[in-house]
């Protein structure tokens, strides 16, 4: 079972969870947020239904740009026996800007409108970040300053995000505001059993010729994240998320100076150019 607990002080979070790369669920991090009750599918349809959102497949391939209301009307509130079109249910991952690209429906303006409805979770430190850069003595918060992969995940029942690990040797926070998701997490040491080159096994349809050692793999935890709970996904951990009921999640990634040695090893490992572009973008000041 994954550890579930109230939010600790930031010093405890760093020493007990972030530095040792331990996944954990915090049960009270959103208790004071207006978002906890205001961010519902009906409210989002009314407030942002006409805005274009980024629609992806089950592994971060952008498939279309669609008005949010069109996605919600097509996929949300479907009866359990409703017929689905072939293939994975599309998944809205509405990110804020990741790099210096124009002419794309990023969610920055929406996050500006939502900024008063959520705040820095109490377990996270206010300074000392490397990604985005915020040295000790300054303050930062993901509701007012863009973080990499900061976005709204809006997913209908039946959506999934296939097994993967996050880029930039970063840690991820996922706040479950509406609906439930099942998470399966594997420790980084399981990578040889889950991968072949840059490919990662599909947990739901494993190709045992391509991934012959997959039957040896053992997940660290398999659990459901409930509304109001916040999950830390540590750097390097492989994870899959399956949407159990129509869902709204808030997520972002970061690198804190407490994990500097891991980040330094990543920087010297010749990361892909796309990841370097994101690092460059977040190395300077950005305001929501």
Q: CATH number for the domain including 247?
A: 2.60.120.650
Q: With contact defined as beta carbons under 8 Å apart, do 160 and 240 qualify?
A: yes
Give the integer Cα–Cα distance in Å for 4 and 10.
16
Name the band, by pLDDT with cuts 50, 70 and 90, for residue 79: confident
Name the band, by pLDDT with cuts 50, 70 and 90, for residue 212: very high
What pLDDT sits at residue 84? 59
Residue 259 lies in a domain: yes
Residue 103 lies in a domain: yes
Average pLDDT over residues 32-53: 98
Average pLDDT over residues 195-207: 97
Average pLDDT over residues 198-219: 97
Average pLDDT over residues 108-119: 97
Q: Which residues contact 259 (CB under 8 A, 6 or more apart)?
A: 18, 19, 169, 171, 235
Residue 203 lies in a domain: no
Number of structural domains (the chain) is 1
Can you give the residue range of the structural domain that contains 96? 4-180+225-281
What pLDDT sits at residue 286? 63
Average pLDDT over residues 253-274: 95
What pLDDT sits at residue 78? 86
Name the band, by pLDDT with cuts 50, 70 and 90, for residue 95: very high
Q: With contact defined as beta carbons under 8 Å apart, do 68 and 79 qualify?
A: no
Phi-psi category of residue 183: left, alpha or beta, with phi > 0 → left and psi -120 to 50 → alpha: beta
**Does residue 259 carry a pLDDT above 70?**
yes
What pLDDT sits at residue 162? 98
Q: Could you report how far apart the first and last alpha carbons of the chain are, in Å?
A: 37
Residue 95: which of 277, 253, 287 has the closest Cα? 253
**Does residue 86 carry a pLDDT above 90?**
no
**Does residue 13 carry a pLDDT above 70?**
yes
Residues in the chain: 288
Residue 216 lies in a domain: no
Question: Which has the minimum average pLDDT: 6-15, 78-87, 106-115?
Answer: 78-87
Name the band, by pLDDT with cuts 50, 70 and 90, for residue 104: confident
What pLDDT sits at residue 254? 98
Per-residue pLDDT tens digits for 140-196: 999 999 999 999 999 999 999 999 999 999 999 999 999 999 999 999 999 999 999
Residue 210 lies in a domain: no
Q: Tell me, what DSSP letter sits at residue 16?
A: I
**Does residue 80 carry a pLDDT above 80?**
no
What pLDDT sits at residue 83? 54
What pLDDT sits at residue 157? 96
Give the integer Cα–Cα distance in Å for 141 and 121.
9
Residue 195 lies in a domain: no
What pLDDT sits at residue 82? 62
- Reported as type and span, the H/E element at residue 247 is strand 247-256
Question: Which has the minimum average pLDDT: 39-43, 93-97, 273-277?
Answer: 273-277
What pLDDT sits at residue 285? 65
Residue 243: which of 259, 227, 266 has the closest Cα? 227
Residue 154 lies in a domain: yes
The SS3 of residue 200 is strand
Tokens of 49: 């239904």
Positive or negative torsion for Cα 121, 125, 128, 134:
positive
**Does residue 116 carry a pLDDT above 60?**
yes
Residue 193 lies in a domain: no
Percent of the chain with pLDDT over 70: 95
What pLDDT sits at residue 288? 57
What pLDDT sits at residue 81? 66
């Amino acid at each position: 079972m994954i550890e579930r607990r109230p939010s600790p002080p930031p010093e405890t979070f760093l020493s007990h969870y972030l530095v040792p790369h331990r996944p954990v669920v915090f049960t009270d991090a959103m208790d004071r947020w207006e978002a906890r009750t205001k961010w519902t599918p009906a409210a989002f349809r009314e407030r942002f239904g006409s805005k274009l959102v980024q629609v992806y497949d089950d592994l971060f391939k952008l498939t279309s740009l669609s008005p949010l209301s069109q996605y919600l009307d097509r996929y949300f509130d479907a009866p359990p026996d409703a017929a689905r079109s072939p293939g994975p249910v599309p998944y809205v991952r509405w990110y804020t800007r990741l790099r210096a690209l124009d002419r794309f429906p990023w969610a920055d303006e929406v996050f500006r409108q939502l900024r008063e409805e959520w705040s820095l979770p109490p377990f996270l430190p206010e300074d000392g970040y490397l990604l985005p850069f915020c040295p000790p003595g300054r303050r930062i918060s993901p509701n007012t300053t863009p973080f990499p992969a900061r976005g709204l995940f809006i997913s209908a029942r039946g959506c999934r995000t296939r097994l993967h690990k996050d880029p930039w040797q970063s840690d991820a926070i996922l706040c479950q505001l509406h609906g439930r998701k099942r998470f399966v997490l594997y420790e980084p040491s399981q990578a040889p059993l889950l991968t072949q080159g840059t490919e990662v096994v599909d947990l739901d349809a494993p190709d045992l010729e391509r991934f012959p050692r997959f039957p040896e793999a053992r997940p660290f935890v398999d659990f459901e994240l409930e509304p109001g709970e916040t999950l830390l996904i540590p750097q390097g951990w492989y994870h899959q998320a399956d949407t159990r009921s129509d869902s709204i999640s808030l997520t972002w990634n970061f690198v804190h100076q407490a994990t500097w040695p891991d980040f330094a090893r990543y920087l010297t490992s010749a990361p892909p150019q796309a990841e370097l572009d994101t690092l460059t973008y977040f190395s300077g000041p950005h305001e929501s």
